[in-house]
Amino acid sequence: MPRPTTWIPQFIDMIGKLTNTSLSCVPPFIQLAGAAALRDARAERDRYMAEFRRKVALLVQELGRVEGVVAAMPGGSFYVFPSVAQLCNRLGITSHGLAMYLLEGADPRRGVACLGGECFGDAGAGFLRLSCAETDERLREAVDFIAEAVTRTDRVAAYLASRPEHQLAAEYPAEEPAAARR
């Protein structure tokens, strides 16, 4: 076996190259694949983009049925970021708490996974983030679940009693966002 002092510099050099190509930047063959996809697969990309735009519009429309939720069409995302400030103020729960309640407190057998706006900083407080990367039927089921879950004030109160950190300390501004009024 070679002495450590002879192979350590070569080993360090090899680890550096491995780290650089796998963690620090995209390997060249992946860059070439990405360029080919952008060049040759525009129709496929456009089909997926149109499908996600349709799903986003569906989710925004469905969320509009839930009292206290104001959803606007996003400019370019497959996430919807509705204001739930009115709803949170009525229930006395933070939007992060509402997201957690929908996931783990509203029903012992099922839930809706979303993020509370606080995950995105102070400006996100009073909002939820929902993904449209599901079938239309599951998106409708999720909104139906939300609409029903927020009427169960007894369950919300029980959830807040067990998770007081999610109690709303001060009401959110509940005006409709400008984008939602369009």
Q: What is the DSSP letter of 95?
A: H
Burial, 152: exposed, middle or buried (Cβ in 10 Å; 0-12, 13-18, 19+)?
middle
pLDDT at 182: 44
pLDDT at 97: 97
Q: What is the DSSP letter of 24?
A: I
- Classify 177 as helix, strand or coil: coil
Spell out, as residue ranges, where the chain has pLDDT lower than 50.
Answer: 177-182
Q: What is the DSSP letter of 68?
A: T
pLDDT at 15: 81
Whole-number Å distance between alpha carbons of 73 and 84: 15
pLDDT at 3: 62
Burial, 94: exposed, middle or buried (Cβ in 10 Å; 0-12, 13-18, 19+)?
buried
Residues 6 or more apart in contact with residue 112 via CB below 8 angstroms: 102, 103, 106, 130, 142, 145, 146, 149
| Order of strands, sheet of 128-131, starting from the edge strand that comes earlier in the sequence | 79-80, 128-131, 115-116
pLDDT at 178: 47
Q: Cα(first)–Cα(last) distance of the chain, in Å?
A: 74
The candidate with the shortest Cα–Cα distance to 174, out of 98, 94, 84, 96, is 84
